[in-house]
């Protein structure tokens, strides 16, 4: 194996492709309140995500310059689960750079979808006591449905919108005069995003508008015994800079299959946080 296996090449390919795929697919996680760290956690451990909900009054002509003591931080407890994507790397994969890239890319896409699914699990009408029921593809730039979605989360100055393919297509500019889908477009400061799936407990969910304090998400490093990791070919921390989210990649020899195996891993969890006036759902009739 040592004559044909370049662990540095494999690690570099995994880092590059994982960073590219996850940076794009998980950008919409910025819509939620988060606590991402490199702290080591085990399954069912918890992280308390702090959400600022109020603070002291602004003072005119102050005589006391001490900071206000009454900033309100609510804490939402998020339960951690170990998410891992494993895949084997054959000798053919190792000898063909393009094939290795495609192998890593398709596994990174699957892993990104699993993280997204975990993040939006709490999104149901029952949790948030609010839903906007629409027909298929009825959310358009000039529709009453779009106004209803915006109005449901209007109190937030960081509103975001996530749509399925049919509704998102309605916002793609048809000519140079169309409004680009950028942060701030149509009153959504956090932008309009596209998602391929909405695997939550809400049947027929095809999108949602939200403020950041609706959902609390957290991530950490999986626990790994040094007696195990010392036998790995490589261990890398891949950080999505725009989110501050770190993914943990390992490459090792699997004695059961007698081949090189790679993994993408993270401890991740999500929970409903502030549920009043922070979420509106698009549910296809």
Tell me the pLDDT tens digit for each residue of 136-195: 778 998 888 999 999 999 999 899 999 999 999 999 887 665 567 888 989 999 999 999
H helices, E strands: number in the chain:
7, 13
- The pLDDT value recorded for residue 121 is 96
| Nearest residue to 137 via CA among 128, 125, 146 | 146
Per-residue pLDDT band at 112 (split at 50, 70, 90): very high
Cβ atoms of residues 70 and 254 within 8 Å: no
- Spatial distance between the Cα atoms of 28 and 192, rounded to a whole number of angstroms: 9
* DSSP state letters, 77-112: EEE-EEEEEEEEE-HHHHH-HHHHHHHHHHHHHHHH
Tell me the pLDDT tens digit for each residue of 230-240: 889 999 999 99
CA distances from 245 to 30, 52, 90, 145, 238 (A): 10, 21, 29, 33, 8
Cβ atoms of residues 51 and 33 within 8 Å: yes
| Nearest residue to 122 via CA among 32, 188, 40 | 32
Cβ atoms of residues 228 and 199 within 8 Å: no
Query: 0.75 exceeded by the pTM?
Result: yes
């Amino acid at each position: 194996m040592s004559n044909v296996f370049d662990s540095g090449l494999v690690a570099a390919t995994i880092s590059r492709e994982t960073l590219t795929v996850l940076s794009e697919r998980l950008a919409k996680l910025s819509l939620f309140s988060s606590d991402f760290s490199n702290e080591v956690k085990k399954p069912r451990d918890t992280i308390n995500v702090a959400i600022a909900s109020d603070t002291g009054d602004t003072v005119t002509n102050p005589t006391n310059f001490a900071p206000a003591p009454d900033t309100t931080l609510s804490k939402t407890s998020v339960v951690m689960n170990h998410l891992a994507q494993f895949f084997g790397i054959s000798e053919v994969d190792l000898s063909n750079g393009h094939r290795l890239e495609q192998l890593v890319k398709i596994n990174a896409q699957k892993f990104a979808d699993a993280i997204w699914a975990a993040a939006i699990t709490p999104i149901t009408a029952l949790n948030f006591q609010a839903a906007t029921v629409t027909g298929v593809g009825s959310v358009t730039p000039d529709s009453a449905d779009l106004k209803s979605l915006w109005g449901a989360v209007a109190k937030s100055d960081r509103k975001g919108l996530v749509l399925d393919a049919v509704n998102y297509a309605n916002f793609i500019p048809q000519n140079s005069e169309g409004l680009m889908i950028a942060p701030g477009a149509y009153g959504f400061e956090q932008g309009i995003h596209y998602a391929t799936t909405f695997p939550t407990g809400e049947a027929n969910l095809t999108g949602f508008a939200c403020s950041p304090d609706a959902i609390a998400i957290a991530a950490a490093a999986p626990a790994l015994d040094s007696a195990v990791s010392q036998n790995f070919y490589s261990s890398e921390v891949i950080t999505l800079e725009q989110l501050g989210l770190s993914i943990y990649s390992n490459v090792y020899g699997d004695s059961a299959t007698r081949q090189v195996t790679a993994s993408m891993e993270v401890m991740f969890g999500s929970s409903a946080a502030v549920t009043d006036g922070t979420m509106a759902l698009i549910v296809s009739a």
